């Protein structure tokens, strides 16, 4: 049974003799370092200080999580300086996922970079909505399309759920597309997926059975009011939805109409808080039918799902 960091840290011996704010030294033991880092993370008001401390230490030092249990008295050695550098970045407000260069999404471990949106739990609602609607077609050779693919989180998740499907991801950024390609390769999905660089669906040929998107939907004037972890570390192009936050949906509507499979094709797009009715109006006026919305874990309408009108 694999050990998990949240469990492991509870079994480490309590360290003594190390001031939490003091810089970690090569002579510090792993147990002392975890204890000191945990107190630092707790002082920052973080929700899971023990987990963050353990992840910082293992990622910066290159040791395995199990080694925190198996050899807690082992000295850090030169790794202390790298661990200290990671801790300083976290204390400065950089998200843990950005420091580690990875994010867990839909049970997958995905690489991320400054060029892609950090895929968060809210966006898993898109996958949930798609499965609720299309799971009965999991044995079919569906064609999937992810518009604004970013890290590839949605495309990779859906390809793992639909083992006979093939998929295309599109992003405006070549650097973002490179991240998605890397994740597809790491997950062994390269035979079933390709990533293109382009402006939404320009140049693509349908039909696609399933189209998903997490477009930029934040009003331009509201970005400065977002949490620091979002406004300073997510790429603005992945956030900025124009003056009213709805610019991307106006571009998506004709793309969906052109590329959706006409009889059974379905689309699922993420939306921001309070945008459901406005997005519905844009899509329906463009020739689409909104079938339902789906709420995220916080109870906010997060996904609009639909099909071609009169299909």
| Architecture of the domain spanning 113-308 | 3-Layer(aba) Sandwich (3.40)
> What's the predicted TM-score (pTM) here?
0.86
Does residue 98 contact residue 112 with C-beta atoms inside 8 Å? yes
The domain limits of the chain are 5-92, 113-308
- Least Cα distance to 23 among 15, 32, 10 occurs for 32
HEC sequence for 87-155: HHHHHCCCCHHHHHCEEEECCEEEECCCCCCCCCHHHHHHHHHHHHHHHHHCCCCCEEEEECCCCCHHH
3-state secondary structure string across 89-102:
HHHCCCCHHHHHCE
- Three-class DSSP labels, 21-73: CCCCCCCCEHHHHHHHHHHHHHHCCCCCHHHHHHHHHHHHHCCCCCHHHHCCC
Handedness of CA 128, 118, 155, 200 (dihedral sign): positive
- Other C-beta atoms closer than 10 Å to the C-beta of 87 total 23
Burial environment of residue 21 by CB neighbours within 10 A (0 to 12, 13 to 18, 19 or more): exposed
pLDDT at 65: 86
| pLDDT, block means (10 residues), the chain with 311 residues | 38 39 85 92 89 91 88 93 92 90 95 96 97 94 98 98 98 97 97 96 94 97 93 95 97 97 97 97 96 95 96 70
What's the count of helices (H) and strands (E) in the chain, helices before strands?
Answer: 12, 9
Q: What pLDDT does residue 13 have?
A: 38
The pLDDT assigned to 21 comes to 55
Confidence at residue 238, expressed as pLDDT on a 0 to 100 scale: 95
CA angle 18–23–24, rounded 5-degree value? 70
């Amino acid at each position: 049974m694999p050990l998990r960091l949240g469990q492991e840290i509870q079994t480490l011996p309590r360290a003594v003799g190390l001031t939490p704010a003091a810089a970690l030294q090569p002579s510090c033991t792993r147990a002392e370092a975890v204890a000191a880092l945990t107190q630092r993370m707790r002082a920052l008001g973080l929700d899971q200080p023990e987990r963050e401390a353990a992840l910082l230490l293992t990622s910066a030092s290159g040791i395995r999580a199990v080694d925190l249990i198996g050899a807690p008295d082992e000295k850090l050695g030169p790794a202390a300086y790298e661990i200290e550098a990671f801790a300083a970045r976290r204390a400065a407000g950089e998200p843990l996922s950005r420091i580690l260069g990875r994010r867990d999404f839909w049970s997958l471990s995905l690489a991320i970079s400054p060029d892609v949106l950090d895929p968060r739990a809210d966006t898993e609602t898109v996958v949930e909505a798609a499965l609720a609607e299309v799971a009965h077609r999991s044995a079919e050779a569906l064609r999937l399309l992810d518009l604004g693919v970013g890290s590839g989180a949605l495309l990779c998740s859906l390809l793992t759920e639909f083992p006979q499907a093939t998929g295309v991801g599109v992003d405006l950024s070549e650097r973002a597309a490179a991240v998605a390609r890397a994740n597809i390769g790491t997950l062994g999905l390269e035979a079933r997926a390709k990533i293109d660089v382009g402006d939404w669906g320009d140049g693509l040929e349908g039909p696609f059975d399933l189209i998903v998107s997490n477009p930029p939907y934040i009003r331009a004037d509201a970005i400065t009011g977002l949490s620091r972890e979002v406004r300073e570390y997510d790429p603005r192009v992945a956030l900025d939805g124009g003056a009213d936050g709805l610019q991307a949906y106006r571009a998506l509507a004709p793309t969906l109409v052109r590329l959706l499979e006409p009889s059974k094709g379905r689309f699922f797009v993420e939306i921001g808080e309070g945008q459901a009715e406005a997005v519905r109006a844009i899509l329906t006026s463009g020739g689409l039918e909104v079938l339902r919305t789906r709420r995220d874990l916080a109870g906010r309408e997060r996904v609009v799902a639909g099909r071609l009108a009169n299909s």
